[in-house]
């Protein structure tokens, strides 16, 4: 019985050691992350929301400076979202590329699609500092 417990403890320690040190995944230095958070007006229908999301998802195919695009809906249990429901992260190789995206006609067109339906929007950009 002691031998079995000892073997279980060794196995547990090995397993914990394996998961305690996840591999470090670092993005290329100096990429710019453009984070956009939306709060939609209550009258935004599911159909309108789908149209908006489809339009946003199309931007990377229209704007070559966008190097990465991901999005999702808030699922945080912390209750600090202040009504913001949708998060988007666009990745650019540089501030110059991000700056080219902002006035791009496709981005402006998207603004006309989403704008009337927004109750609030938050935008934060940062340049990756991780080493």
Domains of the chain: total: 1
Answer yes or no: is 8 within a domain. Answer: no
Whole-number percent of the chain with pLDDT over 70: 78
Domain of residue 108 covers: 32-127
Instruction: Give 28-77 pLDDT, tens digit per residue.
Output: 578 999 999 999 999 999 999 999 999 999 999 999 999 999 999 999 99
Non-local (6+) Cβ contacts of 113 within 8 A are: 51, 52, 55
- Specify which residues 121 forms β-bridges with: 38
Answer yes or no: is 110 within a domain. Answer: yes
Non-local (6+) Cβ contacts of 67 within 8 A are: 31, 91, 92, 93, 97
**Has residue 106 got a pLDDT over 90?**
yes
For the sheet with 118-127, list strands across it: 68-73, 86-92, 32-40, 118-127
pTM of the predicted structure, to 2 decimals = 0.77
**Has residue 125 got a pLDDT over 70?**
yes
Specify the CATH number for the domain of residue 93. 3.30.70.100
Answer yes or no: is 116 within a domain. Answer: yes
Answer yes or no: is 9 within a domain. Answer: no
Answer yes or no: is 1 within a domain. Answer: no
Answer yes or no: is 107 within a domain. Answer: yes
Report the distance separating Cα 87 and Cα 125, nearest Å. Answer: 13
Report the distance separating Cα 82 and Cα 12, nearest Å. Answer: 41
- The pLDDT value given to residue 88: 98
Answer yes or no: is 63 within a domain. Answer: yes
């Amino acid at each position: 019985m002691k031998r079995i417990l000892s073997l279980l403890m060794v196995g547990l320690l090995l397993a914990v050691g394996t998961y305690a040190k996840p591999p470090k995944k670092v993005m290329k230095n100096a990429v710019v992350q453009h984070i956009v958070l939306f709060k939609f007006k209550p009258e935004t229908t599911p159909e309108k929301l789908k149209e908006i999301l489809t339009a946003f998802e199309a931007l990377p195919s229209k704007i070559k400076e966008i190097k990465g695009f991901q999005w999702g809906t808030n699922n945080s249990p912390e209750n600090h979202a202040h009504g913001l429901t949708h998060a988007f992260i666009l990745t650019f190789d540089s501030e110059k590329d991000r700056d080219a995206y902002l006035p791009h006609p496709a981005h402006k067109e998207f603004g006309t699609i989403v704008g009337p339906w927004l109750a609030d929007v938050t935008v934060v950009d940062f340049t990756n500092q991780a080493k």
